[in-house]
């Protein structure tokens, strides 16, 4: 009986320590994600054809948000009105640092 109690206590202590470790890791190792990347990805055609030179639409979205690409028209399948919407969104929506990127449709 004593062995079972010791095993249960050990499991409780181990669970508490692992939970504490995960809590600390979550607080200090958190990666800040720019929400604009997800938004622009959802605004692109999502064909993931790769003709823009990126592996998928999320790659071009990240390049647009970081300023690596400054023309939404890099995505050839994207319709003109959608390109305008993406450009307007990026030109008017600041990122986590408070600045907007300047892109053309």
Q: Would you count residue 54 as binding ligand SF4 (CB under 6 A)?
A: yes
Check binding of 47 to ligand SF4 (CB under 6 A): yes
- Judge contact between 12 and 6, C-beta under 8 A: no
Q: Computed from CA positions of residues 95, 63, 25, 18, in that sequence, does the dihedral angle turn out positive or negative?
A: positive
Closest to 67 measured CA to CA, from 43, 25, 97 = 97
48 binds ligand SF4 (CB under 6 A): yes
Contact between 40 and ligand SF4 by CB under 6 A: the answer reads no
If one asks whether residue 73 binds ligand SF4 (CB under 6 A), the answer comes out as: no
Binding site for ligand SF4 (CB under 6 A): 44-45, 47-52, 54, 56-57, 60, 75-78
């Amino acid at each position: 009986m004593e062995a079972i109690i010791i095993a249960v206590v050990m499991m409780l202590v181990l669970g508490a320590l692992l939970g504490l470790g995960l809590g600390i890791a979550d607080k200090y190792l958190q990666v800040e994600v720019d929400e604009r990347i997800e938004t622009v990805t959802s605004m692109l055609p999502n064909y993931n054809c790769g003709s823009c030179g990126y592996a998928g639409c999320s790659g071009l979205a990240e390049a647009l948000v970081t300023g690596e690409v400054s023309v939404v028209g890099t995505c050839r399948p994207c319709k003109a009105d959608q390109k305008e919407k993406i450009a307007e969104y990026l030109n008017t929506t600041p990122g986590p640092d408070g600045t907007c990127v300047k892109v053309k449709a």
